[in-house]
């Protein structure tokens, strides 16, 4: 975790090139608020286009390089790229040369040599997208689609966009994030986006074992008790329980987890009446969130999915289209 924290300031610099252009999207940590706002505005513009498809990235190639399975996020990036007219290669890592002993960087350099313009990377190790970005031979862009516990910047952006559509003024918002904060790249990217956009108060709630180190989020309020954390909240962001973490957190069962940290309808009533409910999905019904809350009128879960495609279109357009006058083999 400390390595992650230290690496972010480097990432924040590395993803901006010497002309001040966004060259990669590795993290939201340190990304200036006006850049985040510009990406959200661009996503909003795609959302309001009736056609929803364009040829902006015609002739460009986007590679989905997923070292962890994630059909949901991969499909969202796939649709975003194809709806912009890009050609998409879903590089199946399990059956690829990396399983023949080729190194990750050799795989990336090989794909660059085939003139791929963007790498959408998911990896269980924090820092892999940044490592790739530092070793590129070409002008390709790297989009972090989730690395270890470190960052999931497009998730942070889509959560910010979803929330902004319902609560344009972040300054008075009290946002509670509940679940396995310690191991959650979603929580980190959400916190970075919310801070950047001026959220009034961010509360992090988990058992002691699942909270981050004390100094990682100095501006957040820490809670162990969800009933207290959610009191008066405007937004509740529930994290997915990785079931293999239950033992470490001294949680004997899913129902016990739900009792302590799940969002039930009763518990939601402790928040403000119009408290919004978010979750990055896929949801475990009855574990971190009650089914009736997930499907209820305060839930934005499916809106998050919708906005995810538009946010990824915006990021791809920002990273690739500014470069669109460059010939294919630049």
Interacting residues with a copy of itself (CB under 8 A):
47, 50-53, 58-59, 61, 69-72, 75-76, 78-79, 82-83, 87, 89, 91-92, 95-97, 99-103, 106-107, 109-115, 137, 281-285, 302-303, 305-306, 308-309, 327-329
Burial of residue 16 (number of CB atoms within 10 Å: 0-12, 13-18, 19+): middle
Q: How far is the CB of 327 from a copy of itself (least distance, A)?
A: 4
Distance of alpha carbon 76 from alpha carbon 234, whole angstroms: 28
Q: How far is the CB of 69 from a copy of itself (least distance, A)?
A: 5
**Residue number, 52 or 198, with CB nearest to a copy of itself:** 52
Q: How far is the CB of 102 from a copy of itself (least distance, A)?
A: 4
**Residue number, 225 or 247, with CB nearest to a copy of itself:** 247
**Residue number, 9 or 326, with CB nearest to a copy of itself:** 326
Q: How far is the CB of 294 from a copy of itself (least distance, A)?
A: 8
Spatial neighbors of 138 by CB under 8 A, at least 6 apart, are 112, 115, 330
Cβ atoms of 235 and 208 closer than 8 Å: no
Q: How far is the CB of 310 from a copy of itself (least distance, A)?
A: 10
**Residue number, 30 or 286, with CB nearest to a copy of itself:** 286
**Residue number, 221 or 243, with CB nearest to a copy of itself:** 243
DSSP 251: -
């Amino acid at each position: 975790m400390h390595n992650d924290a230290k690496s972010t300031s480097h990432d924040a610099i590395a993803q901006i090139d010497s002309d001040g252009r966004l060259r990669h999207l590795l993290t939201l940590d340190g990304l200036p608020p006006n850049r985040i706002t510009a990406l959200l505005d661009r996503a909003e513009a795609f959302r309001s286009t009736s056609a929803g498809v364009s040829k902006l990235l015609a002739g460009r190639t986007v590679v989905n390089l997923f070292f962890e399975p994630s059909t949901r996020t991969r499909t969202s990036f796939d649709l975003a790229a194809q709806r912009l007219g890009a050609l998409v290669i879903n590089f199946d890592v399990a059956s690829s040369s990396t399983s023949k002993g080729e190194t990750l960087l050799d795989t990336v350099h090989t794909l660059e040599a085939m003139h791929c313009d963007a790498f959408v990377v998911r990896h269980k190790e924090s820092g892999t997208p940044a490592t790739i970005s530092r070793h590129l031979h070409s002008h390709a862009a790297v989009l972090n689609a989730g690395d270890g516990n470190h960052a999931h910047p497009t998730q942070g952006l889509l959560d910010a966009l979803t929330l902004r559509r319902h609560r344009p003024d972040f300054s008075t918002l009290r946002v509670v994030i509940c679940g396995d904060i310690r191991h959650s790249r979603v929580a980190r990217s959400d916190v970075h986006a919310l801070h950047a956009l001026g959220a009034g108060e961010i509360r992090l709630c988990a058992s002691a074992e699942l909270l981050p180190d004390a100094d990682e989020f100095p501006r957040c309020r820490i809670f162990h008790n969800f009933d207290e954390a959610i009191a008066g909240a405007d937004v509740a962001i529930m994290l997915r329980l990785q079931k293999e973490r239950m033992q470490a957190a001294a949680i004997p069962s899913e129902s016990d987890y739900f009792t302590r940290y799940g969002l039930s309808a009763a518990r939601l009533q402790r928040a403000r009446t119009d408290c919004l409910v978010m979750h990055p999905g896929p949801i475990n019904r009855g574990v971190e969130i009650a089914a009736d809350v997930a499907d209820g009128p305060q839930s934005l879960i499916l809106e998050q999915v919708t906005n995810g495609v538009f946010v990824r279109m915006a990021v791809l357009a920002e990273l690739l289209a500014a470069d669109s006058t460059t010939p294919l083999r630049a």
